[in-house]
Amino acid sequence: MRTAYSVDTVRTAERALMARLPEGALMQRAAAGLAVVCAELLGRVYGSRVVLLVGSGDNGGDALYAGARLARRGAGVVAVLLDAERAHRAGLAAFRAAGGRVAGSGEAVFDGADLVVDGIVGIGGRGGLRERAVPLARAAAQSPAVVVSVDLPSGIDADTGQVTGEAVRADVTVTFGAYKPGLLVDPGREYAGAVRFVDIGLEPADGEAELEALQHHDVARLLPVPTEESDKYRRGVVGVVAGSARYPGAAVLAVAGALHGGAGAVRYVGPAAGAVVSRFPETLVSEGSPGKAGRVQAWVAGPGLGDDASRLADVVAADVPVLIDADGLRLADARAVRGRAAPTLLTPHAGEAAALLGTPREYVEAERLAAVRELAARYHATVLLKGSTTLVAGPDGGAVRVNPTGTPWLATAGSGDVLSGLAGSLLAAGLGVLDAGSVAAYLHGLAARRVSGGAPVAAQDVAGALPGAWADVRREA
């Protein structure tokens, strides 16, 4: 599990560690790790040209000490000081002593640079980049040099990933001691590029994580794998209420996802039964009401219902886990959803989340973490907020899961239907609701990456690639 911690938690852990170490030791560890990554990126350090963008806090100090290390190995290193009076004093002295040079005003430092180190601001930053830093961020973006951000891209909010105004766009971010939420959640994540972690001995308290990202071995442990004693009913039956005369495809895609989620059987209830069976003859179908369809261990309701709410009330009233998606989010009775005793999983995209919250879509996109938490608390439900970084939050607080496998190619019609079937199937197979949502997002992203290879994907191809994603996870774990 990869975990991310808030700035407050990082600061507390930092104080505890500093009290046990000689002065400046932590910054040396950070700078040493940063210099190693820079050297790797440069390939050959001797003779290379490096530009440091140095703010007036410890983030700038890290950059200066790392710059000193590179200068000692023969790099030509020049530092642009945002505020010469307030630059980290000891760091600047070490940098100069190692042969580093401070840029003159107006000097064209970016010409011919191989690497730019962004030490403008780290976890001490508030708001977007200040005016004086903006031209530097722009020049770095335009230069062909590799941009390495120190701890986090300057200008992104460490706790939320929010970007107000301008921020540095990094190719690589070298982060110290702990991942910060802003490195894993969009829009911040996009600015961070590839994130490299440097262990400086920080030990944030257990249970304090803001975010968790499952890794292969976590998912492998959670996947429902049948045993010798399993039969189709013991593996779980998932019921799917989706599709309409107008949108039969949503039913087919939700069933396609459900068939690959580990439940032993898929029961479809609705008017697209013909389309479903002709594509997937293994599906149990009926056209009546969900309440009379036979026992299931979890329901999925909503994709492609159009305006037909007739089958939703039965599902919402069921005493098994229920996933509500797409049209279902709009049609379901909010009070009844809130009042459910069994677990509920809501799977909105940003637009649907905004409608449920009664806020503009822009708010959800800019503050994804706050929005998903708010929605989960308001609906007493687990909420999976779809997007470039899919988030899953439980109703009682605790760490939010962030999906690391997403790809922009998943933004394609019908891919959400596949995801809801898949997650519902995992619920029926017995996964807890937070696990079902995050494992589904993980496999779904992995499947899309497998089929995409950098080209557009269709939702049914994503469903078809799910067995391969399972196999990848189980093999590599």
Ligand X SMILES: NC(=O)C1=CN([C@@H]2O[C@H](COP(=O)(O)OP(=O)(O)OC[C@H]3O[C@@H](n4cnc5c(N)ncnc54)[C@H](O)[C@@H]3O)[C@@H](O)[C@H]2O)[C@@H](O)CC1
Closest CB to ligand X among 55 and 303?
55
Phi–psi pair at 146, nearest 5 degrees: -75, 135
Tokens of 305: 């219902």
Smallest separation, CB 30 to ligand X (Å): 4
Map residues 135-154 to x or -, x wherever contact with ligand X holds by CB under 6 A. ---------------xx---
Closest CB to ligand X among 123 and 222?
123
Map residues 42-71 to x or -, x wherever contact with ligand X holds by CB under 6 A. -------------xxxxxxxx---------
Q: Pinpoint the alpha helices (H) of 23-152.
A: 25-42, 58-72, 89-97, 134-142
By a kind-dependent CB cut-off of 5 to 8 A, residue 238 interacts, out of ligand X, K ion, none, with none
- How far is 476 from 366, CA to CA, in rounded Å? 34
DSSP 408: G
One-letter amino acid identity for 437? G
Q: Which of 48, 143, 149, 460 binds K ion (CB under 5 A)?
A: 149
CA neighbours within 13 Å on the CB side: how many for 73?
Answer: 19
Please tell me whether residue 194 adopts helix, strand or coil conformation: strand
DSSP 147: E
Q: Which of 129, 168, 300, 429 binds ligand X (CB under 6 A)?
A: 129
Chain positions 5 to 34 lying near ligand X, rule: CB under 6 A, are: 10, 14, 26-27, 30
- How far is 415 from 143, CA to CA, in rounded Å? 37
Smallest separation, CB 65 to ligand X (Å): 8
Q: Which of 10, 113, 150, 356 binds K ion (CB under 5 A)?
A: 150
- How far is 212 from 288, CA to CA, in rounded Å? 41
Please tell me whether residue 463 adopts helix, strand or coil conformation: helix
Q: Which residue stretch of 81-89, 113-121, 136-144, 205-213 sits at the interface with K ion (rule: CB under 5 A)?
A: 113-121
By a kind-dependent CB cut-off of 5 to 8 A, residue 15 interacts, out of ligand X, K ion, none, with none
Applying CB under 6 A, the site for ligand X has a residue count of: 30
Alpha-carbon distances, residue 466 vs 9, 78, 147, 239, 463 (angstroms): 37, 50, 36, 19, 5
Chain positions 182 to 221 lying near ligand X, rule: CB under 6 A, are: 200, 202
By a kind-dependent CB cut-off of 5 to 8 A, residue 130 interacts, out of K ion, ligand X, none, with ligand X
- How far is 415 from 256, CA to CA, in rounded Å? 11
Closest CB to ligand X among 124 and 432?
124
Q: Which of 6, 48, 154, 244 binds K ion (CB under 5 A)?
A: 154
By a kind-dependent CB cut-off of 5 to 8 A, residue 177 interacts, out of K ion, ligand X, none, with ligand X
- How far is 195 from 204, CA to CA, in rounded Å? 19
Residues that bind ligand X (CB under 6 A): 10, 14, 26-27, 30, 55-62, 120-127, 129-130, 133, 150-151, 176-177, 200, 202
